[in-house]
Amino acid sequence: MTPPHEGVLVLESFLNDSWVSGAGVGAPLINPSDGNLVATASSDGLDLRAALQYGRDRGGPALRALSFSERGALLGQIADALNGRRDDWYEISRINSGNTKADAAIDVDGGIGTLKYFAKLASTLGDGRMLSDGPATRLGRDPAFVGVHLGMPVRGVAIQINAYNFPSWGLWGKAAVALLAGVPVFAKPATATAWLSQAMVKAVVDAGILPTGALSLLCGGAGDLLDHARFGDVIAFTGSAETGLKISHSPRVVSEGVRVNIEADSLNSAVLAPDGAYGTPAFDFFTSEVVKEMVAKSGQKCTAIRRVFVPAEQADAAAEAISAGLAAVKVGDPANEGVGMGPLVHMGQRKTVEEGIAALTAAGATPVSRAEAGIAGDLAKGAFVSPTLLRMNDGAESALVHDLEVFGPVATLIPYNSPAELFSLVRRGGGSLVTSVFGNDSDFLVEAAEALGDSHGRLMLIDPSVGASHGGHGIVMPMSQHGGPGRAGNGSELGALRGLWFYLQRSAVQASSATLERFGGRYVEAVN
């Protein structure tokens, strides 16, 4: 699948159940491997207030009229419609995002898999339309006076603003949960890679799966979108902490009390336990995972490993093993045979990553592995950066390594001398999405979880028994929550039924037992 030969592809938005184009030339979408223009997108002149209201007026009532199982059936149909065209999605990912087929699969299959997961989960909820978080509880002397907490769909729109690195997974991961909760979706993909989001939404629209107003898509800038948010809407954002702060503090969002979930990037860590000596299974699983995570999606994952902690006596061996793994990765245009890592999203991001590497080096980090000669591509046109391992021997003295995230194939190895020092250094990340700990002794893994759990949204504890079968440090699984405290955004999404609560208003319903019985099967108890 390639852009039209005559002219440039113009990405239309899907608003008010119609495909519309914004005014003007539009923002460019570039092939990051060769710098060629592949599409444009503009939202100029589009009536976003009307589009949001359309979702509230049409999509909301239609979804709320359906049971969980009926909504889940829609998710299953979406997954089927998308699954039949996976090769198309992989090709768009290569052209517009510079993804290898393996990287495209993470995004495309991740989105489709999440839809399938929530479709199956919905089938266990039957005809209910609301959730309860537990059984009814007696409230006083009269045993007939009881209370139950019910989650009811908010009566607004789920405004979902996604990052450039996952135009499929970001879109469908959020949309699956909102639609299952009974809330219409207004999706705003990052413009740089919006082609895949737009093409997938078009496939779903053409299949006629969803009710009118249940799904809208904005391609191009956000414009005055947030100025039209109102009470009852919710905003789910993935991206930089700086942008997330602007969204959550925008005047309209604050004045209307709009609920906001932020998933920001973070300084995630991989830890080799004190017993992870060279030659042990833990050492091998650890170094292999670091290499894999550094090059997957060219390091452009919010869950990517940024800090690599190793016992001081294992630092040289770990640096050598990771460097050897990185040296075997061919960097270049994914269209070429044998390429294992593609470019960054665009030249601007390449510049930012190179500046980040220079800043860490100036702060005392030493380059361990960076093979510029290994790039099979045109550096003048492609946004290529070699996977780069740095080493910071005194992690306690360097503030920058715990504060600066270089969003690319870059990680810094940091030796530690004791568990106490290790836990202190990991926590200096200020709140992270995920840390993985690799060890041969499960007792240390438990100790690490207790020391780090409050500063992380997810902990992956790997002993040799699951070293070859775990899901992966950077893989977001729909049955586990995704999000983290502090600089990671203080958000939480997915996590099976836990994710639905962001789109539901919990209300304490107090009534007689007889009245609650009149609810019939309208609500179902949430059991993950």
Residue 234 burial class via C-beta count within 10 angstroms: exposed 0-12, middle 13-18, buried 19 and up:
buried
Q: Which two tokens stand for residue 162?
A: 């996604």
Out of 12, 263, 293, 493, the active site residue is 263
Other C-beta atoms closer than 10 Å to the C-beta of 487 total 19
DSSP-derived pairing of the beta strands 493-494 and 481-482: antiparallel
- The residues that bridge with 415 in the sheet, in sequence order, are 310
What secondary structure, in 3-state letters, does 169-209 show?
HHHHHHHHHHHHHCCCEEEECCHHHHHHHHHHHHHHHHHCC
The Cα 303–Cα 293 span in angstroms is: 9
Residue 34 burial class via C-beta count within 10 angstroms: exposed 0-12, middle 13-18, buried 19 and up:
middle
**Do 494 and 478 touch, CB atoms closer than 8 A?**
yes
The Cα 160–Cα 235 span in angstroms is: 6
Q: Which two tokens stand for residue 113?
A: 């898999």
**Do 510 and 150 touch, CB atoms closer than 8 A?**
no
Report helix, strand and coil shares of the chain as percent, to nearest 5.
40, 25, 35
Chain centroid offset of residue 306 CA = 16
Chain centroid offset of residue 241 CA = 14
Out of 12, 289, 293, 302, the active site residue is 302
The Cα 167–Cα 175 span in angstroms is: 12
Is 302 annotated in the active site? yes
DSSP string, 69-117: HHHHHHHHHHHHHHHTTHHHHHHHIIIII---HHHHHHHHHHHHHHHHH
Half-sphere exposure of 383 (CA within 13 A, CB side): 26
The Cα 56–Cα 53 span in angstroms is: 5
The CA distances from residue 281 to 68, 119, 273, 490, in Å, are: 44, 38, 12, 34
The Cα 340–Cα 292 span in angstroms is: 10
Residues 6+ apart with CB under 8 A from 267: 306, 307, 402, 403, 405, 429, 430, 432, 487
> Catalytic amino acids?
263, 302
